[in-house]
Amino acid sequence: MSDTRPAPRISFVSLGCPKALVDSERIVTRLRAEGYELSRKHEGADAVIVNTCGFLDSAKAESLEAIGAALKENGRVIVTGCMGAEPEQIRAAFPQKDFSNLLAITGPQAYESVVAAVHDAVPAPHDPFLDLVPPQGVRLTPRHYAYLKISEGCNNRCSFCIIPKLRGDLVSRPAAEVLREAEKLVKAGVKELLVISQDTSAYGVDLRYAESAFGDRAVRARFFDLAKELGSLGAWVRLHYVYPYPHVDEVMELMAEGLVLPYLDIPFQHAAPNVLKAMKRPGKQDRTLERIRAWREAVPDLAIRSTFIVGFPGETEDDFQLLLDWLAEARLDRVGAFKYEPVAGAPSETLGLPAVPAEVKEQRWKRFMAAQQAISARLMKQKVGRRLQVLIDEAGPTVAKGRSKYDAPEIDGTVHVASRRPLRAGDVVTVKIEAADAYDLKGTAV
Ligand code: SF4
């Protein structure tokens, strides 16, 4: 018999990186499968789930703010995600009277515990005749792109990072499991697959590259093999969080063939050898410029995006200058920079290296951003006059917004597309580029 009570409503806040977003999607998929509904507002919902980020102090502050808002507007709050791994920090931020309203606090990937806490807060309706979940799951990203998480955890021990402590060592998903998920997504209309993990190029090491059966063939859990198979599904495939290990060179072949987008997201973080050493970064970073050169020879239109940390403890003016010189040589397409923030529990805090004063950090960050802006503006200008394939993200009455192969959603630039015919999100159109600034392009659909 079917339950006639109105479906319980859950409000969901998802903070943090794409990896956390994938965790959120799994929780939401499970709750929707059980008959829960999602609410757009905290007010009136039966409970609120806050998926937090605990990577930097600023992310922690944002997470605490979101928890505070949920307590105020709703009063029944379940906390999960990276910051949930440190419940004492969360409790310390709120008065004791709120403790009973924090129904549960769980760490990252604790799907079962989150779902159990929701069951305790408000029991699931049961209706075996209703199939509420589409086969591809419920996604929080727009219909036309999806993040595909290929592994959890990380075997590296970068000194500024507590992710391995929070999420443990690398655990890769078998290749067939990833490919089945990707196939379902593409069948459901996804036009772009964004491959994510903590260290995408290390994929499969823990499985010793074991084969698994996908369709009529066996696919090895290897970065190259997985990328090749994903590339044959008919969607754009974009690789994030890749480290410059030697075997990344092989993937250039797939980019040159057009199977994988000519795009690499490699968090270099710095260029000065002693800073990289103190950061304990993976990959052979001393020869990255050579490597970038070789990659561009193989794939001339390769776009590289990266992130950097300025003001890491012990970073001298010479180190910083070396970073600026490196940046000028590397001519990266998209760059983000963070000022180093002390992270409680991260080894970088116990290295005994002198902290860079806040005003020096600020100044270096501004110099870094100005240098990159000039590089970026030059590179963007070179795109004027070209015809680019653009995936439309947002339809508009006269101008739609989209992205070329060289830009990932949310972190990179936009192409503003004028068109005489109406464009829909998910359309791929050819656009003649007519203008550029340091980050975005403008053009007309042809
Ligand atoms: S590669 Fe380094 S920064 Fe990235 S998750 Fe692993 S330890 Fe953290």
163 Cα to the center of ligand 1, angstroms: 6
Q: Which of 156, 200, 205 to mutate to test the pocket of ligand 1 (most atoms within 8 A of CB)?
A: 156
The region of weakest confidence among 152-161, 178-187, 353-362 is 152-161
Q: What is the pLDDT of residues 304-332, one digit of tens each?
A: 999 999 999 999 999 999 999 999 999 99
pLDDT in the model for residue 267: 92
β 441-445/428-436 pair status: antiparallel
158 Cα to the center of ligand 1, angstroms: 5
Closest CA to 329 of 388, 371, 301, 367: 371
Instruction: Count the neighbouring beta carbons within 10 Å of the beta carbon of residue 249.
Output: 14
pLDDT in the model for residue 132: 54
Residue 161 alpha carbon, nearest atom of ligand 1: 8
pLDDT in the model for residue 3: 44
The region of weakest confidence among 178-187, 238-247, 370-379 is 238-247
Residues within 6 Å of ligand 1 by CB: 154, 156-158, 161, 163-164, 198-199, 282
pLDDT in the model for residue 2: 41
Asked if residue 268 has pLDDT above 90, the reply is yes
* φ, ψ at 171 (rounded to 5°): -130, 110
Q: What is the pLDDT of residues 204-238, one digit of tens each?
A: 999 999 999 998 889 999 999 999 999 999 999 99
pLDDT band at 1 (very low <50, low <70, confident <90, very high): very low
> For the whole model, what pTM was predicted?
0.76
Give the E-state strand segments of 82-119 in sequence order.
102-105
Q: What is the pLDDT of residues 108-161, one digit of tens each?
A: 777 777 888 888 888 876 554 445 556 666 667 778 999 999 998 899 899 988
Report CA dihedral (422, 425, 427, 430) to the nearest 10 degrees.
70
**Taking the mean position of all CA atoms in its chain, how far away is CA 115?**
23
Residues 6 or more apart in contact with residue 115 via CB below 8 angstroms? 27, 30, 31, 34
Asked if residue 177 has pLDDT above 60, the reply is yes
Asked if residue 198 has pLDDT above 50, the reply is yes
Angle at 162 between CA 356 and CA 266, to 5 degrees: 80
Mean of the per-residue pLDDT values of the chain: 89
Q: What is the mean pLDDT of residues 292-312?
A: 95
38 Cα to the center of ligand 1, angstroms: 33
Give the E-state strand segments of 71-184 in sequence order.
77-81, 102-105, 145-149, 151-152, 171-172
161 Cα to the center of ligand 1, angstroms: 6
Q: What is the mean pLDDT of residues 275-294?
A: 84
**37 contacts 11 by C-beta, under 8 angstroms:** no
Helical ranges in 201-267 per DSSP H: 223-231, 248-256
Closest CA to 66 of 9, 141, 11, 140: 11
The residue that leads in pLDDT, 168 or 431, is: 431
171 Cα to the center of ligand 1, angstroms: 14
Residue 282 alpha carbon, nearest atom of ligand 1: 1
The protein residue with its alpha carbon nearest to ligand 1, atom 2, reads: 158
Percent of the chain with pLDDT over 90: 60
The protein residue with its alpha carbon nearest to ligand 1, atom 4, reads: 198
pLDDT in the model for residue 133: 56
Q: What is the pLDDT of residues 430-446, one digit of tens each?
A: 999 999 998 999 999 99
Q: What is the pLDDT of residues 31-71, one digit of tens each?
A: 887 778 888 899 989 999 999 988 778 888 899 999 999 99
The residue that leads in pLDDT, 85 or 224, is: 224
Residue 281 alpha carbon, nearest atom of ligand 1: 2
| Domains and their CATH numbers in the chain | 9-121 (3.40.50.12160), 145-381 (3.80.30.20), 387-445 (2.40.50.140)
Asked if residue 5 has pLDDT above 90, the reply is no
The protein residue with its alpha carbon nearest to ligand 1, atom 5, reads: 198
pLDDT in the model for residue 32: 80
Closest CA to 105 of 88, 89, 87: 87
156 Cα to the center of ligand 1, angstroms: 6
The residue assigned the tokens 């595909």 is 148
397 Cα to the center of ligand 1, angstroms: 42
Q: Which of 157, 199, 265 to mutate to test the pocket of ligand 1 (most atoms within 8 A of CB)?
A: 199
Q: What is the mean pLDDT of residues 75-98?
A: 87
167 Cα to the center of ligand 1, angstroms: 11
- Residue 435 tokens read as 């203008």
pLDDT in the model for residue 128: 46
H/E/C letters for each residue in 340-379? Answer: CCCCCCCHHHHCCCCCCCHHHHHHHHHHHHHHHHHHHHHH
* φ, ψ at 37 (rounded to 5°): -110, 155
The residue that leads in pLDDT, 280 or 25, is: 280
pLDDT in the model for residue 130: 47
